[in-house]
Amino acid sequence: MHGLLSNRRLQRLLPSGSWYVIAAPYLWLLLFFLIPFLIVLKISFANIVLAMPPVEPVFVWTQDQILQIRLHFSNFAFVFGDDLYIEAFLNSIKVAGISTLLALLLGYPMAYGIARAPNGWRNVLFLLVVLPFFTSFLLRVYAWLGLLGRNGPINGVLMHLGLIHEPLQLLQTDFAVYIGMVYSYLPFMILPLYSAIEKLDLNLLEAAADLGCRPARVFMKVTLPLTKQGIFAGCLLVFIPAVGEYVIPALLGGPDTLMIGRVVWDEFFGNRDWPVASALAIVLLVLLSGLVLLLQRVQARGEAIHE
Amino acid sequence: MNERRAGLVLGAMAVGFSFLYLPIFAMIIYSFNASRLVTVWDSANSPTLAWYRELFHNGALLDAARLSFKIATANATGAVILGTLAAFALERYRRFRGRAMFNLLTTAPMVLPEVITGLSLLLLFVALEQTMGWPRGRGAVTITIAHITFSMAYVIVIVKARLATVDRSIEEAAMDLGARPWKVFAVITLPLIASAIASGWVLAFILSWDDLVITSFVSGPSSTTLPQLVFSKVRLGVSPDINALATLLVLVVTACVVSAGIYMLQAERKRLHDAQMAFEESA
């Protein structure tokens, strides 16, 4: 065995160990991640038919050995021509944007507090932020179903205090969707903010204060610019998944809460229109890929600074 | 920190943490409520364990939980193997053809909307079945493949971060002493990154156990996972036995995360202590 492996000639013929290390995950991702996208792209140009699968082939061999490629642009024309889809895209961006802003406003002071907490406390608080992320996402969204309901405790407390006389319609509103989004994605906001604030050199803040800078100005001129990277990463990590979210609008939103993830789901499962669902997915993908690349660059820069 | 800002920070933390935890506590409390109306407290008959008892007599739910457990275990194991290899490739081989592409492929599944990932995998499985006859229909196998594909990315992040902190001079020393690369990995590197691999396994398990959207796309009529069952029920409104189920899950996860946290804290202290001892001995 040993003799065989140390045989140089044989070693040169076989791929080296590093080849296998790279190839196994690489091939997996090519087959199960990249190729599927090419298929989505292909189907987005196909025609719908009543069959299983409900799409017409795009590549067809004719009898004279000619490969015909039939690309139908009608799905994209349909998507861009229908106000419903445009509205769903715009509304997804609006909902994700507002949710991101709310998460930042709540997350920044929390991350600040955790990073500046006494040593023993810091780990505990950090764990408390991460813990909900480990408990079921679906069940955490579900928890709000009970809280926000007509007979739920929130309406109960408000009525008891005499602030309202009739239960408010909280569920099936955009308000409920915002709550669900901020609730689910807050840890994603806090984690990058925390690591940015923790790295902050306190001497800089002290120096600014010593030079007569007022606290609010120190925050605006020193703290905020130095934690810019964390803010950026946190916002992208909340915004990107929020745009395509399905579960939260489906459970907490009303029938008129149009979000693109939900529209893709309904086209696919409800209307069985695979080509239109694919076309919508492609448009969403193009929309988000710019943001994903941006996120990668922000993280790479963060790593470079760290090193 | 001046006092006004300290007050603001403390206030935000109080609001934030109650926001994170009140819904969970409410769910736990209501799981002991006897009333079928869930949020209307029936003080005559509560607290009760009736909903917990009902859970363990619900055959469909137990089947779904068993299937989810199997898929999550297989997924975590597969994701850890592929993820560790990928992390190693990205961290140790700084240059190889297609590295930029590989890097993109390993991070994209984390941020892409689940509807897109689910839709694309289903279309792949349908195309494969048409051209190669495999996989025959969809079920546990296709769900596991889909889960490995997206949870692997999280394993890579965790293992890569740990690999970056491993002192390479130890590996080089072993290599200089004649150990083959594979042996260096098994004897030196693997023990050093074992805790990261373990956290990766747990995270991959939870991601799979919890996934609804991707699963819905790639599952077949004969395979219903726990999240699918819960979702179909919850869509119709709150239900007391789901509160009981949620409470059990929250307790199990909390116990796991807290004990893992304590373990890691102790390991860290021990490492610091050992380093100090070594330093004092050598001095």
ipTM of the complex: 0.86
B145, B234, B245 ranked by CB distance to A145: nearest: B234
Residue contacts between A and B (CB atoms, under 8 Å): 241
B105, B250, B261 ranked by CB distance to A127: nearest: B261
- Is A164 within the bounds of a domain? yes
Q: How far is residue A193's CA from residue A104's CA, in Å, rounded to a whole number?
A: 9
pLDDT of residue B150: 93
Both tokens assigned to A276:
């239109």
Both tokens assigned to B93:
């081989």
pLDDT of residue A11: 52
- Is B183 within the bounds of a domain? yes
Interchain contact, A142 vs B238, CB within 8 Å: yes
Å from B22 to nearest chain A CA?
9
Q: Three-class SS string for chain B? A: CCHHHHHHHHHHHHHHHHHHHHHHHHHHHHCCCCCCCCCCCCCCCCCCCHHHHHHHCCHHHHHHHHHHHHHHHHHHHHHHHHHHHHHHHHHHCCCCCCHHHHHHHHHHHHHCCHHHHHHHHHHHHHHHHHHHCCCCCCCHHHHHHHHHHHHHHHHHHHHHHHHHHCCHHHHHHHHHCCCCHHHHHHHHHHHHHHHHHHHHHHHHHHHHHHCCHHHHHHCCCCCCCHHHHHHHHHCCCCCHHHHHHHHHHHHHHHHHHHHHHHHHHHHHHHHHHHHHHHHHHHC
Interchain contact, B116 vs A264, CB within 8 Å: yes
Domain that holds residue A253: 75-306
B85, B112, B250 ranked by CB distance to A21: nearest: B85
Q: How many domains does chain B have?
A: 1
Number of neighbouring beta carbons within 10 Å of residue A84: 10
Residues of chain A contacting B106 with CB distance shorter than 8 Å: 25, 29
Going B115 to B116 to B117 to B121, the CA torsion angle's sign is positive
Q: Where are the beta strands (DSSP E) in chain A?
A: 59-61, 67-69
Q: How far is residue B189's CA from residue B91's CA, in Å, rounded to a whole number?
A: 13
A122 touching B (Cβ < 8 Å): no
- Is B220 within the bounds of a domain? yes
Residues of chain A contacting B29 with CB distance shorter than 8 Å: none
Tens-digit pLDDT profile for residues B148-188: 999 999 999 999 989 988 888 888 898 899 888 888 888 88
pLDDT of residue B83: 96
Going A203 to A208 to A212 to A215, the CA torsion angle's sign is negative
Both tokens assigned to B198:
């373990």
Chain B contact probe: residue of A5, A95, A134 with most B CBs at under 10 A: A134
Å from B147 to nearest chain A CA?
10
Q: How many domains does chain A have?
A: 1
- Cα nearest neighbour of B202 on chain A: A134
Chain B contact probe: residue of A33, A92, A123, A223 with most B CBs at under 10 A: A33
A194 touching B (Cβ < 8 Å): no
N-terminal to C-terminal alpha carbon distance within chain B: 40
Residues of chain B contacting A54 with CB distance shorter than 8 Å: none
Tens-digit pLDDT profile for residues B210-245: 999 999 999 988 889 999 999 999 888 778 889 999
- Is A38 within the bounds of a domain? no
- Is A17 within the bounds of a domain? no
Residues of chain B contacting A153 with CB distance shorter than 8 Å: 26, 39
A36, A109, A295 ranked by CB distance to B120: nearest: A36
pLDDT of residue A5: 47
Interchain contact, B20 vs A186, CB within 8 Å: yes
Mean pLDDT, consecutive 10-residue segments, chain A of 307 residues? 50 64 91 93 88 80 80 88 91 95 95 89 88 86 89 86 87 93 94 90 84 84 88 91 92 89 92 92 89 78 61
- Is A24 within the bounds of a domain? no
- Is B77 within the bounds of a domain? yes
Interchain contact, B27 vs A143, CB within 8 Å: yes
Interchain contact, B93 vs A53, CB within 8 Å: no
pLDDT of residue A207: 87
Residues of chain A contacting B37 with CB distance shorter than 8 Å: 151
pLDDT of residue B232: 92
Tens-digit pLDDT profile for residues A87-114: 999 999 999 999 999 999 999 999 999 9
- Is B177 within the bounds of a domain? yes
- Is A4 within the bounds of a domain? no
Interchain contact, A296 vs B146, CB within 8 Å: no
Could you give the 3-state DSSP secondary structure of residue A201? coil
Residues 143-202, chain B, touching A (beta carbon < 8 A): 145-146, 148-149, 152, 180-182
Taking Cα atoms as reference points, which of B119, B139, B141 lies closest to residue B214? B119
Domain CATH number, residue B72: 1.10.3720.10
Peptide bond into A53 cis (omega under 30): yes
Residues of chain B contacting A5 with CB distance shorter than 8 Å: 180
pLDDT band at B35 (very low <50, low <70, confident <90, very high): confident
Domain that holds residue B139: 57-244
Res B1 pLDDT > 80: no
Domain CATH number, residue A115: 1.10.3720.10
Q: How far is residue A131's CA from residue B24's CA, in Å, rounded to a whole number?
A: 11
pLDDT of residue A109: 93
Tens-digit pLDDT profile for residues B107-158: 888 878 899 999 999 999 999 998 888 888 889 999 999 999 999 999 999 9
Residues of chain A contacting B38 with CB distance shorter than 8 Å: 146
- Cα nearest neighbour of A41 on chain B: B120
Chain B contact probe: residue of A104, A122, A137, A138 with most B CBs at under 10 A: A138
